[in-house]
Structure 1
């Protein structure tokens, strides 16, 4: 059973990064507030921001 659209693998990656860019575009202006609320440092925040596109690639690669 499949959910969603049947897309070629390269189109899945394009769609994944399009959704990622729409979602992350709204979070970057709020990063200082998020960092303060979570009580994390710059390094931890940087690693989490690096992890989001890697997770996006992994998710759409395995789908």
Structure 2
């Protein structure tokens, strides 16, 4: 199911559509990090730290 088909089902606004697309793109980029995709970390805290670090690295590349 694509983002646009979900939007049609939800009847979302343009702002909601843009937020949905941005969230899906972020998740797709985060899955490029091997540890995030496979979830090597054993605890939720260390997994959250890895996601935060990966998000920061993605942001730093875009600046």
| Pairwise TM-score range, normalised by the shorter structure | 0.3 to 0.5
Higher relative contact order (CA 8 A, sep 6+): 1
TM-score normalised over the length of structure 2: 0.39
